[in-house]
Structure 1
């Protein structure tokens, strides 16, 4: 099984924005979640791995492929689904997949049919194979995007913000498709939605401001916060006081307009706080808060 290795990858745009800042990581086969807020550098990193843009410095390899020196070798084993992946002509899913398979060098009609049938089946599109892709719903188009990238049996699959804009049912179906293909490939899921990573991924990293903040298995990251996440219900008028006094990492409103605040602390912060079981969202917010504090002290 191949490993994707990135070493000291950096990218600064002409406007001075440092999109990637010395990123080093190893990603093994399976579902890998790349979490970060909008503007964190996730799409830049995905496009760099996919050879769509050059980093300023750093090394990238997939197994024995040097990605910067042999882009075509990487592209032959890559499946990439960007945030926006084009407008399709008014052709059926089946016809379009045959066309894409031909472009990828599958000459035999019999072989193409076998590959197309497999791609439609695994993405749950067999029943609508004769329907025009232009008339598909958002979730169906995303699943079709997965179907077309499976045609060359890729070793590395990159999906960038795939569930943004999907309704809950479509999101659930799409995540099930990714789960099915994630066992035999490196699948990188780039997202700002914590629940996508929680449901799917066995490994994850958090990116913010172009920097890799941490890299853990989700279960280990959650375990590291046991006994350190505290909850308190407060009136909204008391929020400013609590933000100033305690390490508040997140808050949400209750139906009575009171607030639940979650605080990261090694010991009980004060009376009225109760220790609670940490969640993956706590890992995410703690990482962002620690990065914010670090930057403000720098």
Structure 2
């Protein structure tokens, strides 16, 4: 359990985080537009930047004043693109990183690298050079190097951005598996990833928490607020200018337009999606 209490962060007289309070456990998804403060919050959690005020505790123990070396034993952070030592083989990269992490015995390093490669399903790629791996494979190597020191908490920034559909599915499945014995925090613009993976969601906007709850609770914010209409292709242009539109579905020669209504309509029986709830939160905070 990670608890954030009234967390604030200022940088060059600009307030980036405003009294952020969250309870993080399981697989936690962090949503929000660009500039919402998501990356800053993740850096704070990883001990990579200080806070201006507030408290962070992991299992009841404060980490605000602890050194980065102490925090990094419990928290592992994977950035969007992991491409360290591009000319080296995967196994050599991990063996070197294990040494840098203080694993001094050669046999122990090899054992931990073998275990990590097995966990991320890259045993057969150990002799490939980093530069020759796909983006998804490089990110799996990034996870492998985190697992060498077995942190309790794994933090991922846009983990599936830029991956093709097959790689995204593989990566999602890996994160779900890791969630069985780690607390995982995912920041993503891809709502489908959050919906598939996360047991709890937080939404940030302008450094302020706008929502905290389960995926079902977020969906239910849009329940009763959805309407739809079928239009021709000629009529579609007019609807595309309407900010209420959230989804389009093709039905033969007609297009079904789904849109959000501010006032709840008791007659609406359209099942909401996670994106609908997210848009309700964002529009309600304007």
Which position in structure 2 is the counterpart of 1:281? 275
Q: Partner of 2:116 in structure 1?
A: 119
Aligned to 1:98: 95
Q: What is the deviation of 1:236?
A: 3.2
Give 1:224 deviation, angstroms: 4.7
Q: Is the 8 A contact 1:204 1:215 kept in 2?
A: yes
Residue 236 of structure 1 pairs with residue 236 of structure 2:
yes
Please give the alpha-carbon distance, in whole angstroms, between the structure 1 residues aligned to 2:241 and 2:161: 35
Partners of 1:221 and 1:5 in 2: CA distance: 21
1:40 aligns with 2:43: no
State the match for 1:222 in structure 2: 219
CA contact (8 A) 1:67 1:74 kept: yes
Deviation at 1:159, TM superposition (A): 0.4
Map 1:42-191 to 2 at 5 A: 42-71=38-67, 72-191=69-188
Query: What's 1:11 paired with?
Result: 9
Are the aligned partners of 2:8 and 2:53 in contact in 1 as well (CA < 8 Å)? yes
CA contact (8 A) 2:226 2:272 kept: yes
For 1:125 and 1:49, how far apart are their aligned partners in 2? 28
Give structure 2 stretches of 5+ with no counterpart.
none
CA distance in 1, matches of 2:227, 2:256: 13
Match of 1:295 in 2: none
Encode CA deviations 1:82-135: one digit per residue, 9 max, x unaligned: 224454241111111111111112222222222211211121211111111121
- SS of aligned partner of 1:267: coil
Count of paired positions: 280
- 1:126 and 1:240 mapped to 2: Cα distance? 48
SS in 2 for 1:139: helix
Which of 192, 199, 204 aligns to 1:202? It is 199
Higher alpha-carbon deviation: 80-89 or 214-223: 80-89
CA RMSD of aligned residues (A): 2.3
Counterpart of 2:285 in 1: which secondary structure? helix
Q: Which runs of 5+ in 1 are unaligned?
A: 293-298
Counterpart of 1:291 in structure 2 is 285
* 2:116–2:144 contact (8 Å) kept in structure 1: yes
Distance apart, 1:203 and its partner CA: 1.0
